Structure 1
């Protein structure tokens, strides 16, 4: 897909579609966030200011998309959480929406349909893994909630890294590398 600007110049196609994903509480505070482009909102202070502004513009709105500070933002709310996916201003909203749906549905399945702040905090490790299964460095890896949850659940059943020996960590890394090469 080649994007054009109003002036007609072309943007180079890229796999780096997602600029960031975040989940905010019903006060606009960050619960979980990942930003993938260091040129866009490079510091935590700038990210949190952007998130506050984003929340203020969207928490009462009925829309599902907003252009803010040069970013296309799609969002969804549920009870006391707000889910956001951000892309560049020229990005396809439908692609961003599919990432948002994957994020929301994956979290919903992981939390057994009880998507609220307390349950999310209690299962933050699994939700963080879902973030990583959906997107890596801005590249969309998967948008199927069932496969995302399957991989995130497998990874959360592992022995915590702090409780593993060096040999176990190396063996686990070897196994992951082997399986990724066999795909």
Structure 2
């Protein structure tokens, strides 16, 4: 009887360890809330985490209530690791599992935050000629502009995968 339970315990331990290894599925959700905690944008990558809209909004409200007055950048809510950043009246959140590396999540958050900042700088320009010049200038200096968004995302996934596997 003992010999039969040991291999099973070993299998569970191996499976538990495998679930802790880094993967490309480290981000469970990303959402942006206004200064009242209302959802502006959200994307849940783990559909089993909060399957209904009501559960998602309850989770977001709970996260907002625990983070909007704090000066930290990391929170642990409902067994999830959450990194966040505030900019004027917007709150940006990236959610990972409890075992997730906060630095990986923070890299995702910083990329999202800075990308939106760059995009919004162009949008805030009121002179159409300036917008065209800025967009064309960036397109010329950035060879990725010829690729589709899907190609860019696939390339980024491959780069992350290989950097994790090294």
Shorter-chain-normalised TM-score: which range?
0.5 to 0.7
Gaps of 5+ in 2: 1-12, 125-137, 156-166
Alignment of 1:26-65 (within 5 A): 26-65=35-74
Q: TM-score, normalised by structure 2?
A: 0.64
**Residue of structure 2 in register with 1:106 after alignment:** 115
Structure 1 residue 151 displacement after superposition: 9.7
Alignment counterpart, residue 10 of structure 1, candidates 5, 14, 17: 17
**Bigger proportion of residues as helix:** 2
CA distance in 2, matches of 1:40, 1:90: 15
**Residue of structure 2 in register with 1:21 after alignment:** 30
Alignment counterpart, residue 89 of structure 1, candidates 80, 98, 115: 98
CA distance in 1, matches of 2:60, 2:148: 35
Compared CA separation, residues 43 and 79, structure 1 to 2 (3 A) = same
CA distance in 1, matches of 2:58, 2:89: 20
Structure 1 residue 11 displacement after superposition: 3.6
Moved over 2 A (4+): 11-14
Residue 24 of structure 2: SS of its match in structure 1? coil
The one-character-per-residue Cα deviations of 1:37-56 (angstroms, maximum 9, x if unpaired) are 01111111100000000000
Gaps of 5+ in 1: 1-6, 120-145, 156-174
CA distance in 1, matches of 2:148, 2:74: 37
CA distance in 2, matches of 1:96, 1:151: 27
> How many pairs does the alignment contain?
122
Is residue 77 of structure 1 aligned with residue 86 of structure 2?
yes
Residue 112 of structure 1: SS of its match in structure 2? helix
CA distance in 2, matches of 1:110, 1:66: 28
Give the greater-gyration-radius structure (CA). Answer: 2
Compared CA separation, residues 23 and 113, structure 1 to 2 (3 A) = farther
